[in-house]
Amino acid sequence: MATEHYYQVNVNWNKNRNGILTSNNLDEKITIATPPEFPKGEANIWSPEHYFVAAINGCLMTTFLAVAENFKLDFIDFESNAVGKLEMIDRKFVMSEVILNPVVTISNEDQKALAIKVLEKSEKACLITNSVKSNIKMNITIKVV
Are 127 and 58 within one domain? yes
What CATH number did the domain enclosing 126 receive?
3.30.300.20
Q: What is the pTM of this model?
A: 0.94
pLDDT score of 88: 97
Are 19 and 90 within one domain? no
Q: pLDDT by residue (tens digit) across 74-120?
A: 999 999 999 999 999 999 999 999 999 999 999 999 999 999 999 99
Q: 106: domain range?
A: 48-144
Q: How far apart are CA 15 and CA 23, in angstroms?
A: 20
Q: Which residues contact 139 (CB under 8 A, 6 or more apart)?
A: 99, 100, 101
Q: pLDDT by residue (tens digit) across 34-61?
A: 999 999 999 999 999 999 999 999 999 9
Are 60 and 108 within one domain? yes
Are 27 and 54 within one domain? no
Q: How far apart are CA 72 and CA 124, in angstroms?
A: 18
Are 35 and 103 within one domain? no
Are 38 and 95 within one domain? no
